Structure 1
């Protein structure tokens, strides 16, 4: 398990209008839930914001107000800023569901016990989650489908994943 105690829940995409509203990209399963976690902090923890949602943008993001942001210039200055919360403020998940942040950094072994690599990122381009693996002996990153068939075991307590990758992937 990673030792990250803070989880990124969203990112500011830029100003929306001239009164301090902004476009917000939510990384929560239900985008509107981002406002339910209480104050969110910048990555360095220097600033904290309460979020009030006011709609959705045409680009699919949320329109929001952040406490203390009242002008277009203030909203523009926050473009690209990621918003974080403490890991322990996230709800517990049902069995066999995982937060991406908990998977990043785990070692991945094949069913015979051979180390394949380490999870560098969890990607999703619309067809399901994919684990991006890197490690010694790999000439480039390997993309492993995060399905029950390809990844039969995730053991967060032991910090490892057992994979049965499709033929020819490694």
Structure 2
């Protein structure tokens, strides 16, 4: 599952590592249709640290291939391994288009939706945080904010039209934790057990 960092963009990949000597980069895909997204001439906005020489720039696809089961991309202006290594861990964003991805939403479609667990509303989606490994849903529940990985196992259903996100979080994530009762599993006093 994926959501856009901005209203008009969708995250479609992350550059993992340099591949070979001619500027190729292995690509982690966040798209269901890489052959459509990574056509020659496709342009991507880069998400890189501000200190990177690539900050604020875009890249254009020269060629996309699958090599030994790995997605590999060649980008204009990236002609050797050194240039490719300067892009490692960059996230690629594409402008919104008329053909949405399966199981992909823009932030503005999700923020404010009810968060439902076991047919009961337990909170409201406050925001989405985009991390390299996965997105996190930040859910406001009572006076707390809870972070939930935006993965199929914990978020089986998203329905912006119905105004709800159905979740199946791990036990204990949304429950209030009891105060430390200072007892051990055997029922004795914790301070006595350590003496």
Deviation, 1:5, is 0.9
Unaligned runs of 5+ in 2: 48-54, 176-195
Q: Which whole-Å deviations, capped at 9, do the CAs of 1:103-156 have from their partners, x for residues lacking one?
A: 5434325567x561316369xx9xxxx9844214336435684335xx6x5327
CA distance in structure 1 between the aligned counterparts of 2:167 and 2:86, rounded to whole angstroms: 46
Deviation, 1:46, is 1.8
Equivalent position to 1:116, from 118, 123, 141:
123
Report the count of equivalent residues: 152
What residue is the counterpart of 1:134 in the other structure? 139
Equivalent position to 1:101, from 87, 106, 117:
106
Deviation, 1:40, is 1.8
What residue is the counterpart of 2:160 in the other structure? 154
CA distance in structure 1 between the aligned counterparts of 2:165 and 2:19, rounded to whole angstroms: 45
Larger Cα-atom Rg: 2
TM-score by length of 1: 0.64
What residue is the counterpart of 1:41 in the other structure? 45
What residue is the counterpart of 1:5 in the other structure? 8
TM-score by length of 2: 0.58
Query: Per the alignment, in what secondary structure is the counterpart of residue 141 of structure 1?
Result: strand
Q: 1:50–1:66: 8 Å Cα contact kept in structure 2?
A: yes
Query: How is 1:23-62 mapped onto 2 (pairs within 5 angstroms)?
Result: 23-36=26-39, 38-43=42-47, 45-57=56-68, 61-62=70-71
Change (3 A) 1:164 1:104: closer
The answer to whether residue 22 in structure 2 is matched with residue 19 in structure 1 is yes
Deviation, 1:51, is 4.2
Q: 1:41–1:49: 8 Å Cα contact kept in structure 2?
A: no
Change (3 A) 1:39 1:164: closer
Q: Which whole-Å deviations, capped at 9, do the CAs of 1:150-170 have from their partners, x for residues lacking one?
A: x6x5327xxx31648699965
What residue is the counterpart of 2:78 in the other structure? 69
Q: CA RMSD in A?
A: 3.9
